[in-house]
Amino acid sequence: MKEGLAIKELIQVCYDLSDPKVKKRELRALKKAGEELNCSKMTILSEDSEGIERIPFFEAETDVKFTPLWKWLLA
């Protein structure tokens, strides 16, 4: 999501995150984009995953929010 020229939030979409390799791949891609675009607010939309996971981000950590697509659409 953008607000003016600033990137406000990065959103990654993945249908199924039950495979640890897929989850790792999606988190790695989101982290790389966040570092390149200097955006620490990150969300992964999926069929049914929900929660928060902390990942290293620059010299600190940031939270990645996992949200089911239907819940995100209704918000």
Judged by DSSP in three states, 15 sits in: coil
pTM: 0.89
Q: How far apart (Å, rounded) are the C-alpha atoms in residues 44 and 25?
A: 12
pLDDT of residue 2: 76
Query: Which of 66, 60, 64 lies closest to 48, judged by CA?
Result: 66
pLDDT tens per residue, range 35-75:
999 999 999 999 999 999 999 998 889 999 999 999 999 99
Give the three-state DSSP class for 72. helix
